[in-house]
Amino acid sequence: MFELVSIGNQSVTNFDDCRSEAITISDEYYSVQFFLNGRVPAYLYKLRNNSSSRPYILVKQDSSVFKELNVGDMLDMEYKQADSVGNGKTFKTLITSKILHNRYTGHSIVELSIIKN
């Protein structure tokens, strides 16, 4: 049996519970917008989902965004639905990894972990 102790401040005893929460986030929201160091401009990326069911964004490796995002950074990110105009829902988000993406040359996967507010 596989047992997780907690995610955020909630106890989890079943891996499927954890997985379904991650899928719900990426199914419910289409894109994510954020500021780096509180400065303009805002960056907007399409949310994607990988086999680990963790949401991620695809970022060009030679961009200033990629250089400024670091694993362990905690950012306020605004998650937007596909059909919404205007404000989305803001979550504290942890940058969990930056992984080279083989399919799209010059891009990396930046995995996100939403921390419940």
The residues, ordered by sequence, that sit 6+ positions from 117 with a Cβ below 8 Å of its Cβ are 90, 91, 92
Residue 112 corresponds to which tokens in the numbers above?
């996100």
**What is the extent of the structural domain holding 10?**
6-115
Sheet with 107-115, strands from edge to edge, namely 39-46, 31-36, 74-80, 89-100, 107-115, 55-60, 48-49
CA gap 28, 58 in Å, rounded: 18
> Does the residue 1 lie in any domain?
no
Per-residue model confidence (pLDDT) at position 101 = 82
CATH of residue 82: 2.30.110
What value does the mean pLDDT take over residues 91-95? 94
Whether 86 is in a domain gets the answer yes
Res 19: pLDDT:
41
Q: What is the mean pLDDT of residues 79-101?
A: 87
Query: Which of the four pLDDT bands, split at 50, 70 and 90, describes residue 44?
Result: very high
Q: Confidence band (pLDDT; 50, 70, 90) for 100? A: confident
User: How many domains, in total, are found in the chain?
Assistant: 1
pLDDT at 36 over 60: yes
Residue 14 within a domain: yes
